[in-house]
């Protein structure tokens, strides 16, 4: 399999260091001082002390027990510490799992537009792959009839991203149950990229973690999205299948096998402050969504979207005389960063020519004002 360049590489060359950033996909970043202060206020001084004076020896492959115990609390009774595998971020989990499950005789189903690794990892594991196109007119939702039609005798793997990146949409519990039934009937593993789970804008739309409801389901998560713990670089896989966990551990041995103890301790602090952090971040998101609602009302002649229900990103259509690549270059000259369609699809056609706009940080309002200034200067040309 020929190595593919990151789709976002060109984007980062254009937008790196710009002051007004809609490109970020995470929530308000935490500081180490915030975490230490929250831990001390909670009575976790022993955790603070260990962080300040911990040994620099190796941690266990797959994560230390105390962190895996903390992570397991996010799940139901089927998931305990032994069902958790810790990684240095979530990115590497996607490829590790593909190599654990797939070979040249297997078939996988993925969805596009979406995060590149989620789409491409099965290719690198030599699997045959069917890409199913998500559609704006279907609110970027998975068409389960298309999934069923794509299943072959050798289909081993379905990869979903719920809530979605880049659109912020989310399947219903009924749709999820139908997908699981379909996979169960055909003996297929489901990887569910759940990095935006727990960032539902209202609690009524939340669906179960895939690892909780399906014996061949794998949920992957990272601290960077819901908790703003980007620099902690801790992610994990939760799964019921212990044989698969062991195989992933063997593959992980040849990658980043041991997370740093400093990262593990920061992760424990983050998870123990989860309620406080998530409350803050959802408040930021919902405030920013109110600003974006006003923006899309005011500038509906030039922009439209499927309004997100979860996460911190959205997928936006520009109806003016530029494609999203050209719009991204024009905005970059004004110090504004967006993520054009080419970051999420290997082929950009008109029906997927949308750009991603992030709204998880408290400084989004400033960027939105700069975007409005850009529109006001140019809308006469567009008209």
Summarised one tens digit per residue, pLDDT across range 195-235 is: 999 999 999 999 999 999 999 999 999 999 999 999 999 99
Average pLDDT over residues 21-40: 95
Report how far residue 103's alpha carbon sits from residue 292's, in angstroms, rounded to the nearest whole number: 44
pLDDT at 9: 87
Task: With CA atoms as reference, report the closest residue to 334 among 288, 379, 373, 292.
Answer: 373
What residues does CATH 3.90.1150.10 cover in the chain? Answer: 9-31+275-375
Task: With CA atoms as reference, report the closest residue to 314 among 257, 270, 357, 266.
Answer: 357
Q: Is the pLDDT of residue 257 over 80?
A: no
| Lookup result for tokens 């719009």 | 327
Q: How confident is the model at residue 3 (pLDDT cuts 50, 70, 90)?
A: low
Q: What's the token pair of residue 253?
A: 């041995």
Task: With CA atoms as reference, report the closest residue to 235 among 269, 214, 210, 263.
Answer: 263
Report how far residue 369's alpha carbon sits from residue 366's, in angstroms, rounded to the nearest whole number: 5
What residues does CATH 3.40.640.10 cover in the chain? Answer: 56-272
Pairing mode of beta strands 336-337, 20-21: parallel
User: Which CATH architecture does the domain made up of 56-272 adopt?
Assistant: 3-Layer(aba) Sandwich (3.40)
Task: With CA atoms as reference, report the closest residue to 356 among 316, 299, 323, 319.
Answer: 316
Q: What is the pLDDT of residues 281-320, one digit of tens each?
A: 999 999 999 999 999 999 999 999 999 999 999 999 999 9
The neighbour count for residue 184, using CB atoms within 10 Å, is 14
Residues 6+ apart with CB under 8 A from 45: 39
The neighbour count for residue 224, using CB atoms within 10 Å, is 23
Residue 354: CA count within 13 A, CB half-sphere: 26
Q: What is the pLDDT of residues 121-158, one digit of tens each?
A: 999 999 999 999 999 999 999 999 999 999 999 999 99
Q: What's the token pair of residue 277?
A: 């952090």
Residue 82: CA count within 13 A, CB half-sphere: 8
What's the angle, vertex CA 179, arms to CA 174 and CA 182, rounded to 5? 125
| Arithmetic mean of pLDDT over the chain | 96
**Phi, psi of 286, rounded to the nearest 5 degrees:** -70, -35
Q: What is the pLDDT of residues 42-68, one digit of tens each?
A: 999 999 999 999 999 999 999 999 999
CATH match of 9-31+275-375 with 3.40.30.10:
no
Q: Is the pLDDT of residue 1 over 70?
A: no
Q: Is the pLDDT of residue 270 over 60?
A: yes
Q: Which residues pair with 318 in a beta bridge?
A: 303
pLDDT at 17: 86
What's the angle, vertex CA 210, arms to CA 206 and CA 216, rounded to 5? 170
């Amino acid at each position: 399999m020929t190595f593919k360049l990151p789709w976002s590489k060109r984007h980062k060359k254009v937008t790196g260091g710009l002051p007004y950033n809609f490109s970020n996909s995470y929530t308000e970043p935490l500081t180490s001082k915030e975490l230490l202060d929250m831990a001390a206020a909670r009575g976790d001084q022993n955790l603070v002390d260990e962080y300040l004076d911990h040994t620099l020896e190796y941690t266990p492959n797959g994560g230390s027990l105390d962190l895996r115990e903390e992570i397991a609390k996010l799940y139901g009774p089927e998931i305990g510490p032994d069902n958790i595998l810790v990684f240095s971020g979530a990115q590497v989990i996607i490829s590790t799992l593909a190599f654990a499950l797939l070979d040249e005789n297997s078939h996988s189903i993925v969805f596009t537009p979406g995060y590149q690794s989620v789409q491409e990892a099965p290719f690198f594991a030599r699997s045959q792959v069917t890409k199913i196109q998500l559609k704006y007119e279907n609110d970027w939702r998975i068409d389960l009839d298309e999934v069923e039609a794509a299943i072959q005798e050798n289909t081993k793997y379905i990869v979903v991203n719920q809530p979605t990146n880049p659109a912020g949409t989310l399947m219903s519990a009924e749709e999820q149950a139908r997908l699981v039934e379909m996979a169960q009937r055909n003996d297929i593993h489901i990887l569910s990229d759940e990095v935006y789970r727990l960032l539902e804008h209202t609690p009524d739309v939340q669906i179960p973690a895939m690892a909780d409801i399906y014996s061949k389901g794998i949920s992957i998560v990272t601290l960077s999205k819901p908790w703003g713990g980007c620099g902690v670089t801790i992610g994990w896989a939760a799964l019921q299948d212990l044989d698969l966990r062991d195989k992933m551990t063997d593959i992980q041995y040849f990658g980043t096998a041991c997370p740093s103890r400093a990262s593990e301790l920061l992760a424990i602090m983050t998870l123990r402050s989860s309620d406080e952090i998530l409350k803050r971040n959802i408040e930021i998101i919902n405030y920013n969504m109110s600003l974006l609602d006003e923006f899309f009302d005011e500038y509906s002649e030039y922009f439209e979207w499927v309004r997100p229900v979860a996460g911190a990103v959205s997928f936006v259509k520009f109806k003016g005389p530029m494609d999203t690549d050209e719009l991204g270059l024009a905005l970059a000259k004004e110090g504004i960063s967006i993520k054009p369609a080419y970051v999420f699809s290997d082929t950009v056609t008109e029906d997927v020519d949308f750009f991603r706009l992030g709204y998880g940080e408290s400084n989004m309002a400033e960027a939105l004002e700069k975007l409005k200034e850009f529109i006001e200067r140019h809308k006469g040309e567009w008209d």
